[in-house]
Amino acid sequence: MFPTLQYSLAGLDPSKQYNVFVDMILGDPNHWKFQNGRWVACGQAEQLSTTGRVYLHPDSPNRGSHWMKQDIVFGKLKLTNNKNTDQSHIVLNSMHKYQPRLHVIEVGACAPGEQKTLLTHSFPETQFISVTAYQNTDITQLKIDHNPFAKGFRDNYDRYVSVDTF
């Protein structure tokens, strides 16, 4: 995913173990198109039949102290529109708005009656419209200039869903 998701965590128990993962939910009920230089809603969003796909951060599980000492970067998160792909990708519909959600869940043994902590956070400013080909030429140039994975974009970019501005 470009640009990558990056988060900072605070308030975790430094000695407890946590898994950190991301999922995507629809950001609104619309299908979108890029028309006359802007995004326009054009019909209802399609629901994906593959639900519950998450991307577990590769450092999971780890202690709270690990998660709080530096930013958590989801640099290897891959998005696709291929519903038959393996579980390592999050499947999205192209031309739909999505909202990434960050989840932090406590892992490990617990005493009887004790509950695990699950925290879920989303930030409206991280909503995006998924595309298989960039609709905005400025975004295309930005990716070519700054994305370390731009080679994939140049060679066969329609296999992976990318993020465009709206």
Q: Which residues, 6+ apart, have CB-to-CB distance to 20 below 8 Å?
A: 9, 56, 57, 59, 60, 62, 67, 72, 102, 103, 104
Q: Which fold would CATH assign to domain 6-164?
A: Immunoglobulin-like (2.60.40)
Query: Residue 140: left (phi > 0), alpha (psi -120 to 50), or beta?
Result: alpha
Residue 1, pLDDT score? 83
Residue 159, pLDDT score? 46
Residue 158, pLDDT score? 46
Residue 33, pLDDT score? 92
Give the residue extent of every domain in the chain. 6-164
CB atoms within 10 A of CB 95: 23
For residue 75, CA distances in Å to 1, 3, 11, 117, 148 come to 7, 9, 23, 25, 10
Residue 150, pLDDT score? 66
The pLDDT tens digits along the chain (166 residues) read 878 899 999 999 999 999 999 999 999 999 999 888 889 999 999 876 655 689 999 999 999 999 999 999 999 999 988 888 877 789 999 999 999 999 999 998 777 777 777 899 999 999 999 988 777 777 777 777 777 666 665 554 444 455 555 4
Residue 149, pLDDT score? 65
The dihedral through the CA atoms of 92, 95, 99, 100 has a sign that is: positive
Residue 49, pLDDT score? 61
User: Are 32 and 166 spatial neighbours (Cβ–Cβ below 8 Å)?
Assistant: yes
Residue 147, pLDDT score? 72
Residue 50, pLDDT score? 53
Question: How far apart (Å, rounded) are the C-alpha atoms in residues 33 and 14?
Answer: 45
